[in-house]
Amino acid sequence: MWIVPESAIPGLVDEQSAFDAIEATFAAMSRGDAYNFPVVREGLGEGRQYGFKSGLDRVGGLLGVKAGGYFPANAAQGVPNHQSTVYLFDPESGRPTAMVGGNLLTALRTAAASAISIRHLARADARVLGMVGAGHQSAFQMRAAVRQRAFEKVIGWNLHPEMLSRLEATAAELCLPFEAVDLDRLGAEADVIITITSSFDAILKDAQIRPGTHLACMGTDTKGKQEVEAALLARARVFTDEVAQSVAIGEAQHAVSAGLLEPGAIVEIGAVINGAHPGREHAGEVTLFDGTGVGLQDLAVASRAVDLAVAKGLAVEVAI
């Protein structure tokens, strides 16, 4: 089996490879060729979270699991709080084929998912990108998003204003002007909005979102988290990576439990990629992608990383 350590991942999987791998995965899920197994997530005490995301892609030949979680005491030791490792297996024999560092890959695959939603759902004339959230993931999100439309400006809001410098620096790296704004201005000016926070309450209200906006809601990946008002999901056309996760742990959990949204009305983005659903139907429609993060995304980028690492001599082979 191959070992690809976290230290080998930077420079290996770029935004385009992640985009292609995740787009193919979403398409396979929607065709029924690939599916995710139920997520396991356990609290370990002292704020530590640990869990498993796994799945099978029969046609792509992927079987595996991402194991990892959140360990809040790490930062004080200079170690990232989010820790994950992906394990790949041969779907025919069950033999392990690879162990891959999953930290950077998680950021890349999550950014690829929202970028895919922007590619397929945002208005072609979108020019202003709005960012809600300025944590670790936000820079990856912005870098992947700006590849999808001819954005001319980035505007952003964060609960903790001292973190906004990350958005400003990332926009500068992408040669785009950045302005910190309040939420009313963000909703009134942004054509595309990415939310990527750890919030447990609605940040953006329905009334703040103008017609024609595309939102990629990426932060809500656990029961109880929430980034936008449930009424917005009742007004929007809602898309997701996987309907079961969207309803259970995604942004849609609140609108569904309040009776504002039927699970059957939520569309898998894979159906749009495959041409089975038209996606955005008119310029005034609000589209919302509920990106919950599925195990197959992790397997897809990890498999890509193994191929690239082996080709570049960066993977370590061990006998099993």
Beta carbon nearer to ligand NAD, 208 or 292: 292
SS3 state at 226: strand
Residue written as token pair 């699991």: 65
Q: At what angle do helices 15-31 and 103-121 cross, to 10 degrees?
A: 70
- Closest approach, Cβ 294 to ligand NAD, in A, equals 8
CB nearer ligand NAD, residue 25 or residue 137: 137
Q: How far apart are CA 316 and CA 7, in angstroms?
A: 12
Catalytic residue among 53, 66, 205, 312: 66
Cβ atoms of residues 200 and 139 within 8 Å: no
We find the least distance from the C-beta atom of residue 39 to ligand NAD, in angstroms, to be: 11
Q: Which is nearer to ligand NAD, 55 or 133 (CB)?
A: 133
Binding site for ligand NAD (CB under 6 A): 106, 110, 133-138, 158-160, 163, 196-199, 203, 218-219, 221, 291-293
CB of 154 to ligand NAD, least distance (A): 15
For the CB of residue 124, give the shortest distance to ligand NAD in the complex, in Å: 25
Q: How far is the CB of 249 from ligand NAD (least distance, A)?
A: 9
Amino acid at 54: S
Phi-psi region of 242 (alpha: psi -120 to 50; beta: other; left: phi over 0): beta
Residue 312 a catalytic site member: no
Count the alpha carbons within 13 Å of 82 in the hemisphere toward its beta carbon.
13
Closest to ligand NAD by CB, 250 or 279: 250
Q: What are phi and psi of 259, to 5 degrees?
A: 75, 15
Nearer to ligand NAD, 97 or 241 (CB): 241
Q: Which secondary-structure segment (H or E) carries 256?
A: helix 252-257
Q: Shortest Cβ distance from residue 138 to ligand NAD (Å)?
A: 6
The CA distance from 194 to 204, in Å, is: 11
195 in Cβ contact with 215 (< 8 Å): yes
**Is the torsion defined by CA of 88, 93, 94, 98 positive or negative?**
negative
Query: Residue 131 or residue 315: which is nearer to ligand NAD going by CB?
Result: 131
Nearest Cα residue to 211 out of 287, 151, 146? 287
Cα separation of 298 and 149, whole Å? Answer: 25
User: Which residues are tagged catalytic?
Assistant: 66
